[in-house]
Amino acid sequence: MASLWSLVRKRQISYALNTFSNESARAIAQQLLTGPPPKLVNLSDFASTWDDDDGAFDMDAMDATPCFPRMWFEWSRNAERTAAFVGRHTLDEVAKLIHLDAPAPADARFFLQMVFLHEQNGAPVLRGAALFYIDRLGCLTGSIHEICTDDIRGHIATCALLVCEALTNINTQGTRIEPPFDSKPVQIVKPDRAPCSVWHTIHLPNFAHPPLVDGIISPEVLERREHWVRGHRRDYRRGAGMFGRVKALIWVPEFQRGNAELGTVQQAYEIRNDAAGRKPKSLKGEER
């Protein structure tokens, strides 16, 4: 099955008439198909186990800074294929993209443009967009400007949060990307097509919450008995950092701690590793 990006490169793009005008849709399509190819990131494995309601993602400890000015994230979840084109723009470029009434926050460093597409009848459809500023740590600053209808506003917010967590994973030391991001882009020989990069996959452990068995296990009990600590992200960017030197997001792998003489806690969950141009020829509107 062809990826949404391959369909975009063939200029097979539709858009929702109640969300985008022909002019705005054509401008977005032109951004996709002009300039250097975006870095392609496969999020299917990561998205299949991701849950925005589990409370595991700390918005204050995020780093949603795209490592490249143009990135393309694509994933399949609940039999629906979705993609997000992420553009990283300087503050001087904001006026060329959209008119915003409020000025940029004082601590803003970049302006992020996330355009979301989904598959419908074998073609990618422009569904909505989320625009916001991030500060020097990559955290959200100011408000989010959404371009979508009210019925999918929650879905757009969920997709934006998923992409932000994927970017945070990429920027966390200890995350593995295959192949490495410094791989040279693959150039398409056909003169009619825009070039594209290779697909990259994020590998970061995902965990299910352990069910409580025989009552609630308190943190005090866990501190005394031998137990496994699940892998987690630590934010050392603020303050003195780690060891007074390292100021970064760090992925701490699972490790064991506690006193075995007091007993050993048998966790009821399993730890596993998962994967976290040219002007378009034509555009057609599509009612949603």
- Virtual torsion, Cα 239, 244, 250, 252, nearest 10 deg: -120
* Confidence label for 286 from pLDDT (cuts 50, 70 and 90): very low
Longest dimension (CA), the chain: 72
Helix (H, G, I), strand (E, B) or coil at 261: strand
Helix (H, G, I), strand (E, B) or coil at 24: helix
Cα–Cα distance for residue pair 165/140, rounded to 1 Å: 12
Q: What are the residues facing 36 on neighbouring strands?
A: none
Number of other CB atoms surrounding residue 69 within 10 Å: 16
Q: Which helix (H) or strand (E) holds 44?
A: helix 44-49
> Average of pLDDT values for 200-214?
54
pTM value is 0.76
**Which residue has better confidence, 287 or 167?**
167
- Virtual torsion, Cα 56, 61, 62, 65, nearest 10 deg: -160
| Start-to-end CA span in the chain (Å) | 24
Lowest mean pLDDT among 41-45, 159-163, 260-264: 260-264
Cα–Cα distance for residue pair 103/107, rounded to 1 Å: 11
Cβ–Cβ < 8 Å for 16, 125: yes
**Which residue has better confidence, 257 or 214?**
257
Could you give the percent of the chain with pLDDT greater than 70?
A: 74
Quote the mean pLDDT of the chain: 78
Cβ–Cβ < 8 Å for 79, 60: no
